Structure 1
């Protein structure tokens, strides 16, 4: 077995300056510049995420970060007010409302959740459990 001293996640972006602004100003996260042109995002749990520039970046089609909130409607309104689009899926099998929120709690199928993309196209979510 590998004995890890620490574990962290990372993902790529195509524009580190746009990512810095988005994660810091739009999402309000603690973002610092790393020594290799990367970003370090400190999460509320104390964990860190490594964000690095990649010239041939391809956006993650899966959810890379899930932001847990107390009030999903307020969070979505705030994101939308900052220009973030939360209505990115239109699927009859997993419907979302006009705000882009899948109301899972109301039908007994998980949390209420809305997905959106960062400036590099990576998928993220905001959810209320």
Structure 2
């Protein structure tokens, strides 16, 4: 088996400055710009993701990042207060309440979109 030091995930966006502002200013992550490459988003501890530009970007139709929170309602209220819509699903297979929170599939979870329309979630974890 190969040896690794620090695995990380990555995904694309179509507008790096918009992603920088969103992940830094709205979500509050420490973000390092890597000129000509993209963004290194530090999630806490040793975890991070790499966000890179892609001219023909297609938004992920699945959740690319789950953000654990201690109180889903407070997190959703804060996101909504910053202009982030959390009511993005409205179908019988994925029911959500008026705030966009699904409380039926396990831990309470709410999904939202980043500026490139990638799916992100906040999930209540004890």
Q: What corresponds to 2:65 in structure 1?
A: 65
The Cα offsets for residues 57-85 of structure 1, whole Å up to 9 and x where unpaired, read as 00011101001001100100010011101
Give the number of aligned pairs. Answer: 125
Q: Report 1:8-23 matches (<5 A).
A: 8-23=8-23
Q: Give distance in 2, aligned partners of 1:41 and 1:75.
A: 19
Match of 1:41, SS state, is strand
The Cα offsets for residues 81-114 of structure 1, whole Å up to 9 and x where unpaired, read as 111010011121221000000013xxxx310000
Q: What corresponds to 2:5 in structure 1?
A: 5
Q: Give distance in 2, aligned partners of 1:27 and 1:6.
A: 23
When normalised by structure 1's length, the TM-score is 0.92
Match of 1:68, SS state, is strand
Cα RMSD of the aligned pairs, angstroms, is 1.1
Q: Give distance in 2, aligned partners of 1:36 and 1:125.
A: 28
Q: Report 1:105-124 matches (<5 A).
A: 109-124=105-120
Unaligned runs of 5+ in 1: none
The Cα offsets for residues 8-63 of structure 1, whole Å up to 9 and x where unpaired, read as 11110000000000000000000011143310000113211111111100001110
Q: What corresponds to 1:56 in structure 2?
A: 56
When normalised by structure 2's length, the TM-score is 0.94
Unaligned runs of 5+ in 2: none
Q: Report 1:57-96 matches (<5 A).
A: 57-96=57-96
Alignment of 1:125 onto 2:124: no
Q: Give distance in 1, aligned partners of 2:67 and 2:100.
A: 15
